[in-house]
Amino acid sequence: MISFNYETVFSLDNEQQLSEWIIGVISNEGCHLEEVNYIFCDDAYLHKLNLEFLKHDTLTDIISFDYSIGKNIQGDIFISVERVADNATDFKVTLNEELKRVMVHGVLHYCGYKDKTDSEVKEMREKENYYLNQLV
């Protein structure tokens, strides 16, 4: 099950389509969806989580808590809509495009992809682009 939760003034207008897309990503990666919760929030909300749980005093666009066991995907993905909007401006893409990239990025981490080394970043970006192109 995919759920969408809002801790800020924001809402998706295509939850069903995005849910089906994320389920398809998980399935295509050979994994099984248990439960993924997307929580959309503002910078202050996510900054507090970053300090409390990761001890990082920085703003970020996404924090994910992975409860997956093996190929059974389960977790909470917190996304700062403010940070995503700023990044979209910086990267010269729409908010919607950047939001979908961040959403699939979090799920790809649950499926086993990392982004610490240059080669991992390259592979992650290729996967993100592949799945973004699947979403019409």
Give residue-wise pLDDT tens across range 85-125.
999 999 999 999 999 999 999 999 999 999 999 999 999 99
- pLDDT, position 136: 65
Per-residue pLDDT of 32-70, as tens digits, reads: 999 999 999 999 999 999 999 999 999 999 999 999 999
Domain limits at 71? 2-134
> Structural domain tally of the chain?
1
- Residue 86 tokens, joined: 């700023």
Average pLDDT, stretch 57-84? 96
Q: 78 pLDDT band (50/70/90 cuts)?
A: very high
Is the distance from CB of 8 to CB of 41 less than 8 angstroms?
yes
**Distance between CA atoms of 130 and 59, rounded to whole angstroms?**
27
* Amino acid identity at 106: G
3-state helix/strand/coil string of 6-46: ECCCCCCCCHHHHHHHHHHHHHHCCCEEEEEEEEEECHHHH
What percent of the chain clears pLDDT 90, i.e. is strictly above it?
97
| 105 is an annotated ligand-binding site residue | yes
One-character DSSP codes across 84-118: HHHHHHHHT--HHHHHHHHHHHHHHHHTT---SSH
What pTM did the predictor assign? Answer: 0.94
Q: 135 pLDDT band (50/70/90 cuts)?
A: confident
CATH of the domain at 95: 3.40.390.30
**Distance between CA atoms of 92 and 109, rounded to whole angstroms?**
24
pLDDT tops 70 at residue 9: yes
Is the distance from CB of 19 to CB of 2 less than 8 angstroms?
yes
